[in-house]
């Protein structure tokens, strides 16, 4: 496989050359290549599962957490979902060439501002082999070459997925080098990739705070951090009990090891006696360990097990069946708590008070805000992007789920007729 014999620099230079061709490639060719990738994933399911089984066995021997094992695991359904996600991306409009604005000036000059590819995008990710395909499909559709660097935990899975996608895409007309996987998962490869100034246009890391700090220490290339998700659900005084139960349980338990799972529950004191006992009991039945403040402990009163919370719990992204719970006296206190502890990913309010919901939306400074909906909806597929290359908690260029549009930049095109500036 090519990734085993080429250095990081060689892979990036090949991607740079491919990016020039990709930038002018027609939509039909790109779509045909992605459909070939989707078909190849289904056809090679057995090979992919065999490789993944090797990674899972190594993960068990290494003592990986349940959350990481869940992220790492593939099955036929998840592979089918990958293929379906690729086809969903094919069905989306090609962003390249989209006119964002245009006008004709009084002097006769004509201006257009259009979307163009970024160039070469590098994606660094941990224990999530599905990212190999999601990221590749999004980059190729938006006219970007992609360099992937996965973790050693998913070494075999990523290698076979990248090979399947690369061979299918090149066989359908995409240039060689447009999709590459960096071999190995060590810090040396990360540092070399992060130092490709002038070759790689953007790095998107998908992982924990450790990966973020490692990149911050060495990056010479622009980075959009798809950072951690310390997500909150706030149950307001007017909240409907059934809504609160459904949203909190979904946000925490549907898939606890992902960044849009809820990590903190805030309950208005006026609703605590009415909703908190049932919430705690339901969480207990679902196997969730509650880390509660004094009022939460008192409310549980033996009906559910609650571990006394410490200050450290409020800032923790558990990625497990753990949840910090606090009773607050007002919407103001809930907002203050979120301002202090949120990572800026996703916050949700459960309420029947329109004024409270509008204030929550206006004052919460996070990438996504949900009203009477689970935090789990902060997802590119759920929000109509087909898939996402990451969820940005930054404010520049892209924020929230990053899809095709966020993988482009803009170009100003001006037409004149011998015009000179007076």
For residue range 171-180, list pLDDT tens digits in order: 999 999 999 9
H helices, E strands: number in the chain? 15, 16
pLDDT digits (tens, 9 = 90+) for 139-178: 999 999 999 999 889 999 999 999 999 999 999 999 999 9
Q: Three-class SS of residue 214?
A: helix
> How far apart, in whole angstroms, are the C-alpha atoms of residue 136 and residue 84?
14
Which residue is it, tokens 């800032």?
315
Q: How far is CA 260 from CA 211, 279, 295, 335, 400, in A?
A: 18, 20, 26, 19, 11
Backbone angles phi, psi at 391, to 5 degrees: -120, 110
Kindly compute the dihedral angle of the four CA atoms of residues 313, 317, 323, 328, in this order, to the nearest 10 degrees.
60
Question: What pLDDT is stored for residue 4 in this prediction?
Answer: 42
> How far apart, in whole angstroms, are the C-alpha atoms of residue 82 and residue 91?
14
Q: Three-class SS of residue 297?
A: helix
Name the token pair of 14: 């090949």
Which domains, and CATH codes, for the chain?
2-226+389-415 (3.40.605.10), 231-377 (3.40.309.10)
Question: What pLDDT is stored for residue 118 in this prediction?
Answer: 97
Most confident of the ranges 145-154, 244-253, 379-388: 244-253
Instruction: Give the strand pairing for 400-401 and 391-392.
Output: antiparallel
Give the Cβ contact number of residue 20 at 10 Å: 12
Per-residue pLDDT, averaged over 402-409, amounts to 94
Kindly compute the dihedral angle of the four CA atoms of residues 41, 26, 385, 125, in this order, to the nearest 10 degrees.
60
Choice among 200-214, 307-321, 342-356 with the minimum mean pLDDT: 200-214
Residue 259 near residue 229, CB atoms below 8 Å: yes
Q: Give me the percent of the chain exceeding a pLDDT of 90.
A: 81
The secondary structure of the chain in percent helix, strand, coil, rounded to multiples of 5, reads: 45, 20, 35
First to last CA, the chain: 59
Reported for 74-81, long-range contacts at CB under 8 A and 24+ positions apart, including other chains, are 74/48, 74/49, 74/129, 74/130, 74/157, 75/49, 76/45, 76/49, 78/130, 79/41, 79/42, 79/45, 79/48, 79/49, 80/42, 80/45, 81/130
């Amino acid at each position: 496989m090519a990734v085993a014999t080429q250095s990081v620099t060689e892979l990036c230079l090949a991607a740079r050359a491919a990016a020039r061709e990709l930038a002018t490639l027609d939509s039909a060719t790109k779509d045909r290549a992605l459909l070939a990738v989707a078909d190849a994933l289904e056809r090679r399911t057995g090979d992919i599962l065999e490789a993944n089984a090797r990674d899972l066995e190594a993960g068990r021997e290494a003592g990986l957490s349940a959350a990481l094992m869940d992220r790492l695991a593939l099955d036929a359904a998840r592979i089918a979902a990958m293929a379906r996600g690729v086809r969903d991306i094919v069905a989306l409009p090609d962003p390249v060439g989209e006119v964002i604005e245009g006008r004709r000036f009084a002097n006769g000059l004509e201006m257009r501002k259009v979307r163009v590819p970024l160039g070469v995008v590098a994606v660094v990710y941990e224990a999530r082999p599905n990212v190999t395909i999601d990221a590749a499909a999004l980059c190729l559709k938006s006219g970007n070459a992609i360099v992937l660097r996965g973790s050693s935990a998913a070494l075999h899975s990523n290698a076979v997925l990248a090979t399947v996608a690369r061979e299918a895409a090149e066989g359908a007309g995409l240039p060689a080098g447009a999709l590459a996987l960096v071999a190995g998962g060590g810090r040396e490869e990360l540092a070399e990739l992060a130092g490709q100034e002038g070759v790689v246009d953007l790095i998107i890391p998908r992982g924990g705070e450790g990966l973020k700090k490692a990149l911050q220490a060495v990056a010479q290339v622009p980075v959009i951090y798809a950072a951690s998700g310390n997500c909150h659900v706030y149950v307001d005084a007017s909240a409907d009990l059934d809504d609160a139960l459904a949203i909190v349980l979904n946000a925490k338990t549907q898939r606890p090891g992902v960044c849009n799972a809820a990590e903190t529950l805030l309950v208005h004191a006026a609703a605590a006696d009415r909703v908190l006992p049932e919430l705690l009991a339901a969480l207990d039945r679902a196997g969730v360990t509650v880390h509660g403040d004094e009022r939460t402990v008192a409310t549980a009163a033996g009906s559910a097990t609650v571990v006394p919370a410490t200050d450290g719990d409020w800032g923790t992204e558990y990625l497990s069946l753990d949840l910090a719970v606090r009773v607050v006296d007002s919407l103001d206190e809930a907002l203050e708590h979120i301002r202090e502890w949120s990572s800026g990913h996703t916050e949700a309010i459960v309420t029947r008070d329109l004024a409270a919901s509008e204030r929550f939306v206006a004052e919460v400074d996070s990438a996504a805000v949900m009203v009477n909906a689970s935090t789990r909806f902060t997802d590119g597929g759920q929000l109509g992007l087909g898939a996402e290359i990451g969820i940005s908690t930054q404010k520049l260029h892209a924020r929230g789920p990053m899809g095709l549009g966020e993988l482009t930049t803009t170009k100003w095109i001006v037409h004149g007729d011998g015009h000179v500036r007076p």
